Structures are given as structure tokens and as C-alpha cells.
């Protein structure tokens, strides 16, 4: 079942990113990639929380665009990490997270287009 509470969904997603990164092997290749994914991936939810507390419609729209941008960046880092990983179980988790990122991109694109008159 899809969770339609987007604040909760993005928070749980951030937790899933952290869990993946905790399980990923740490070496000279993966450490900087993990750092980038955690920064970008967890900022999606943080920016969505901020959007819901925006001071104006324009501020809300700006935060939504940041969510969309961070989602796209996260997809990039997830792709690169999946390539660096060797454990199939972790690669499978990357695929699941990738799908969620795709859904977030569609959601934030829709929200942004509906607020483009601001």
C-alpha cells in the first residue's frame, strides 16, 4: 500500500537511505558516494517539511523545486553506489530506492506544475 502522507513517506525514505548506507561496505570508493547520497537523499524530506511550513506560496514552490532537484541528484548518487556495490542484496535495495525516487520526482513535478502560477 502506498503511503499518501508525504511527510511521513519522505521521512521513512530517509531512514531507508540511512539503513542502506549503514550496510554498504566502507572503502575509498564508497565512503564519498555514501556521504553524497545521505546528504541529497535525506534533504528531500527535510525540504518537504520546510515547504509545508513555508511563509508564502512562492516560498512553498521554491522548496518543492528543491525537493525535485535533490531527488534527481539522489538518483544519480544511488546509481553510482549501486555500480560500486558487489552484494546483490544491497543492489536490490538500491533498485527499490530508485523506484521510490522516480515516484518522488513525479510527485514533486506535479506539485510544482500546479503551483507554477505563483
Long-range contacts of 6-11 (CB under 8 A, 24+ apart): 6/48, 6/107, 7/45, 7/48, 7/49, 7/52, 10/44, 10/45, 10/48, 10/49, 10/104, 11/45
* CATH number for 106: 1.20.1440.60
Whole-model pTM: value is 0.86
Q: Return the residue matching grid coordinates 538500491.
A: 94
- Asked, for residue 23, whether it belongs to a domain, the answer is no
* Cα dihedral across residues 105, 106, 107, 113: positive or negative: positive
Of 2-11, 62-71, 103-112, which gets the smallest average pLDDT?
2-11
Residue 35 near residue 90, CB atoms below 8 Å: no
pLDDT score at 80: 93
Residue 48 near residue 63, CB atoms below 8 Å: yes
pLDDT score at 30: 93
Mean pLDDT of 66-93: 91
pLDDT score at 118: 56
- Asked, for residue 1, whether it belongs to a domain, the answer is no
The total of structural domains in the chain comes to: 1
pLDDT score at 86: 81
pLDDT digits (tens, 9 = 90+) for 16-46: 999 999 999 999 999 999 999 999 999 999 9
Domain that holds residue 47: 6-18+28-114
pLDDT digits (tens, 9 = 90+) for 89-107: 888 899 999 999 999 999 9
- Asked, for residue 100, whether it belongs to a domain, the answer is yes
Amino acid at each position: 500500500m502506498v503511503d499518501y502522507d508525504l511527510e511521513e513517506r519522505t521521512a521513512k525514505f530517509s531512514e531507508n537511505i540511512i539503513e542502506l548506507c549503514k550496510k554498504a561496505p566502507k572503502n575509498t570508493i564508497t565512503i564519498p558516494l555514501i556521504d553524497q547520497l545521505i546528504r541529497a537523499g535525506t534533504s528531500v524530506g527535510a525540504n518537504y517539511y520546510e515547504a509545508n511550513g513555508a511563509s508564502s506560496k512562492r516560498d512553498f514552490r521554491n522548496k518543492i523545486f528543491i525537493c525535485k532537484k535533490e531527488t534527481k541528484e539522489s538518483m544519480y548518487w544511488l546509481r553510482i553506489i549501486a555500480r560500486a556495490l558487489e552484494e546483490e542484496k544491497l543492489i536490490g535495495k538500491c533498485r527499490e530506492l530508485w523506484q521510490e525516487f522516480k515516484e518522488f520526482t513525479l510527485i514533486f513535478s506535479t506539485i510544482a506544475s500546479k503551483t507554477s502560477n505563483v
